[in-house]
A and B are shown apart, each in its own frame.
Chain A
Amino acid sequence: MSVTSGPASRRLYWPAQMQRNRGVRGLFVVVALFVALYAYLFPGLLTVGGVSKFAQSWFPLALVSMSQALLMLTGGISLSIGATVSLGAVIAATTMTGPLGVVGGLAVVMIAGLAIGAITGVIVVRLRLPAIVVTLAASFIIGGAALLILPRPGGAIPTWFSDLLAGNTPAALILLIVTALLWKVYLATPLGLSLYAAGENPVGAYRGGVPVDIARIAAYAISGLLAVGAGLFVAAQTGSGDPVIGTAFTLNSIAAAVLGGVGFLGGRGTMRGAIAGSLLLSVMINVMFFLGFPPVAQYVAQGLIIIGAVALPEITGRRGPR
């Protein structure tokens, strides 16, 4: 907020932030209720270990939800997030025990994510192809690459690295907070500021001198980075790589973002909403598991809750977060 520093803007900061919560307040209440229910069912949640464990099961979904929400804010969407997660996992599992070591492996994973995202972004933005179809085709290419790197589940993550990320440490929670703070920082940069403008009204933003194309391509690149990050974490959790482990993340990321009030047309929604949406999904799955729901009921309930949560603002007559 370098441009608008001063006593007045500082006084306005928190009211403005509260104002931005308007559309997702109902969601926050629902999330709080679910977390309370989960804590009641599983009292161990309220210890450091319990929170760490829960954060570990939530972290990958939170990352892919941010990855999806970021694109949806610019008016895009990605159906290749699941494949990108898988690719991140297999690259991590094949490089980290090799000559590159953990640091080298980390670098390769991050570069791959940024590059894949940027290439997808250039194709969508510069060649003017519809994002949904490009990322659909990209999901085949990226998924194929993951299969080439590791045809069947295997590879390994060094044990100390697995323990650091997914052992008895609150690493996942800390990483999530750091990621959220980095998002705040990004929003304050020129590219971050362009993000909402490019999604809300691309033509107007372009005419107003906003670097629309660059902002959108950057969004795709960052989205790719977040997705491979989720893959890296999943690999650390399981201690190995699996070329199809990310498949379910594509649809869950869209569901979480939409639950969080992020609109499909761009420019509408907040990252905190998307993170809350992913928290709701993750707690829901855990609660149903604890209540001993059979898988059938889990699928059925998941479908109904997603529709209900999105439709509720319409039914009650309030205008939705869109």
Chain B
Amino acid sequence: MSIAESETTRFPPRRIGSLLKNRAFLTFLIVVLVWIVAGFAKPGFGSFGHLRYLLELAAVIGLVAIGQTFVVISGGIDLSVGAIVTVSAVGVPLAADLGDPTGTVPVLIILAAATGIGFLNGLGVALLRVHPMIMTLAMATFLQGVLILVAGGSAVSTQNPLLHWFGNARPLGVPAAVYLWVVVSALTLLVLHATPFGARIFALGANPLASALSGVNTRRTTMAVYAIGGLSAGLAGVLLLGMNGQGYVGIGDPYLLASIAAVVLGGTSILGGSGTYAGTIPGAILLVTITALITVVNASPGWRSILFGSLILALLLFSGREARNR
């Protein structure tokens, strides 16, 4: 399992004690435990096909959560990711393909557009000093209007070959989406923990004033962080379109809450300044697993919603507690 490998290389287990205090590792442990228990309790849950399916679903949440992790670590929050996912999923069939038979051009156009939307978020937060929650919220409202304009409320379908491959192909028995997720995750961890840019993001989230005084270009860093948020949500959107075969208004809505929940379950502080994408990965898998388990329990939508909320709340007790401040 590639996730396990990245987990251990990222955090060399010097002592067992310190490993158990590592929230990313703890979340991963919870996922494994839940999988083992569920596998014994419900035959078929632990089958390769089912776990593969879960990972495929987790890949989309994981991709959205990349941007969310960056933004949250930098001390902000992005409430527009759901809208960006929808815009990208609905936008691909509308983008000009320029006679490209592989379908790469429209995907690139949409990814660029998504990055641009994220950049606009960053512009508002960094230059206009609008609070991130308001800026991204207003952006989501704005995009909702644009969506009705371009899609007119009807579903769009696509025959884009590139997206069809990413959504359905299974080289060596593993979905292409999961490969994509692994590659992008490795890149994310690299950027976040092994580049000056990553260090600047952590500094910005921990103390914006201090980091500005010590020479970090906070405006440029903020804009870059939100642009990454847009790009990752756009990537998730086109992938989702590839998996579903069609896009519709509202397709991205569940990913807003899922991305925030995955980030926080992974031990990243919602206040910014600390965390890792290595925790968000098991966080995303955990979310999908919980959802799958709740679906197995044959309950009404009301009970399902209550179970989901309660389980997240219970998991937060393990991984989301703030330090005592007095």
Contacts and interface: CB of A to CB of B under 8 A. Distances in A.
Contact of B128 (A134, A251, A307): A307
Contacts of A151: 300-302
Given A151-B300, A311-B124, A298 B305 contact: no
A174 interface: no
A217 B142 CA distance: 35
Residue among B129, B264, B305, B320 with the highest chain A CB neighbour number at 10 A: B305
B131 A264 contact: yes
Nearest to A312: B128
Contacts of A264: 131, 133
A169 interface: no
B308 interface: yes
A317 to B, nearest CB: 12
Contacts of B141: 251, 299, 302-303, 306
A145 B308 CA distance: 12
A134 B142 contact: no
Contact of B300 (A139, A148, A206, A207): A148
A130 B319 CA distance: 11
B260 interface: yes
Interface in B296-326: 300-310, 312-313, 316-317, 320-326
Contacts of A173: none
Contacts of B261: 133, 136-137
A254 interface: yes
Contacts of A123: 313
Contacts of B139: 303
A310 interface: yes
Contacts of B131: 258, 264, 310
B129 A129 contact: no
Interface string A112-137: 00000000000100011110111011
How extensive is the interface on chain B, given as a class?
35 or more
B169 interface: no
Residue among B257, B271, B302, B322 with the highest chain A CB neighbour number at 10 A: B302
Interface in A136-155: 136-149, 151
Nearest to A206: B326
Contacts of B128: 307, 310-311, 314-315
Contact of B145 (A134, A255, A299): A299
A130 B302 contact: no
B130 interface: yes
B270 A132 contact: yes
A140 B305 CA distance: 5
B172 interface: no
A306 to B, nearest CB: 4
Interface string B27-43: 00000000000000000
B174 interface: no
B148 A144 contact: no
Nearest to A148: B302
Contacts of A12: none
A304 interface: yes
Interface in B211-268: 257, 260-261, 264
A296 B146 contact: yes
A139 B309 contact: yes
Interface in B117-159: 124, 128-131, 133-135, 137-142, 144-146, 148-149
Contacts of A304: 138, 142
How extensive is the interface on chain A, given as a class?
35 or more
A141 B146 contact: no
Nearest to A202: B325
A255 B134 CA distance: 7
Given A138-B313, A141-B313, A299 B148 contact: yes
Interface string A190-214: 0000000000001100110000000
A100 interface: no
Given A132-B270, A148-B303, A255 B260 contact: no
B142 A300 contact: yes
Interface in A169-197: none
B264 A254 contact: no
A130 B309 contact: no
A134 B316 contact: yes
A144 B271 CA distance: 28
B308 to A, nearest CB: 5
Contacts of B326: 202-203, 206-207
Nearest to B271: A130
B324 A314 contact: no
A300 B321 CA distance: 38
A258 B134 contact: yes
Contact of B264 (A133, A144, A255): A133
Nearest to B150: A296
Contacts of A255: 134, 137-138
A295 interface: yes
B224 to A, nearest CB: 20
A313 B301 CA distance: 45
A297 interface: yes
Interface of B: 77, 79, 124, 128-131, 133-135, 137-142, 144-146, 148-149, 257, 260-261, 264, 269-271, 300-310, 312-313, 316-317, 320-326
28 contacts: A128-B322, A129-B316, A130-B269, A132-B77, A133-B270, A137-B309, A141-B306, A141-B309, A142-B309, A143-B305, A144-B301, A144-B308, A148-B306, A149-B302, A203-B325, A203-B326, A206-B326, A251-B137, A258-B134, A295-B145, A296-B146, A296-B148, A299-B142, A303-B140, A306-B134, A306-B138, A306-B141, A315-B128
Given A202-B325, A258-B134, 9 more contacts: A133-B261, A137-B313, A144-B308, A144-B309, A151-B302, A254-B134, A299-B146, A300-B145, A307-B135
CB-based closest 5 A-B pairs: A299-B145, A140-B309, A144-B305, A303-B142, A147-B302
